Amino acid sequence: MRIVLKIGHALFKGHSIDLEKIRGTADAILRLHNAGHRLIVVVGGGEPSRSYIKAARSLGADHATCDQVGIMVTRINALLLSIAFGEASSRNIISSFEELEKQLDTARDKILVAGGFTPAQSTDAVAALIAERLKTDLLIKTTDVDGIYNADPKKNPDAKLLKEVSVRRLRKILGQESTPGEYKLLDQVCLSILERSRIPVVIVNGSDPENIIRAASGEKVGTRINYSE
């Protein structure tokens, strides 16, 4: 299969670099690569990105500059994960669709790794656009919870995990978000891309890298998005 994997908050969660988490995640991805899957990994900024953006804003940076700071952090994170792949990665972090097209031709046997592309565009949206462009078989997004809940599980102990969720319901859940940095799932731009191309998506807890293997193998894990409504 051709799989786009969005690595999110679970891997770059704290202010220090967790090498064991990076190695564990890299190992799971390498196992999929060695099994013959074609992998494109998009890496987010996590908490380090938010820390740098907050600092830049405090120093007087405008929104566009803050976006650029965040993008640079995603690319550093992407490079770290790329290093963990060893010779299986091209080590050239993708930062645009033009670079993606080049690496698809020149690094066919490698794991391709991308960070952010442009300001005002999340790495979730980047992953969705790549999945759409390449007509991928599956998009796996990792987060630091077990999937999509009907409420923020970190604040509401009664929140229920949704094994499957329609786009309509997911839009309502996303619409409940009002404070930046709280229970981020998928932004509206990303969701629109997924909806128009009906991309198969599974959202899993990346704290256990085995969930990536389970999702790619078709096991029931995390939350699947459906387009039936």
Question: Tens of pLDDT along 64-88?
Answer: 999 999 999 999 999 999 999 999 9
CB 123 within 8 A of CB 116: yes
| Ranges of each domain in the chain | 2-226
Mean pLDDT of 81-103: 94
Percentage of the chain beyond pLDDT 70 is: 96
Over 70: is that where the pLDDT of 43 sits? yes
Over 60: is that where the pLDDT of 163 sits? yes
- Domain 2-226 matching CATH 3.40.1160.10: the answer reads yes
Taking the C-alpha atoms of residue 110 and residue 107, their distance in angstroms, rounded to an integer, is 5
Over 70: is that where the pLDDT of 183 sits? no
pLDDT in tens, 25-42: 999 999 999 999 999 999
- Which range has the worst mean pLDDT, 38-52, 91-105, 162-176? 162-176
Average pLDDT over the chain, rounded to whole? 90
Over 80: is that where the pLDDT of 178 sits? no
pLDDT in tens, 125-142: 999 999 999 999 999 999
Q: How many CB atoms lie within 10 A of CB 63?
A: 11
Report phi then psi at 130, rounded to 5. Answer: -65, -45
Give the closest residue to 153 by CA, choosing from 188, 182, 122: 182
Confidence (pTM): 0.92
CB 29 within 8 A of CB 162: no
pLDDT attached to residue 7: 95
Q: How many CB atoms lie within 10 A of CB 189?
A: 15
Taking the C-alpha atoms of residue 76 and residue 80, their distance in angstroms, rounded to an integer, is 6
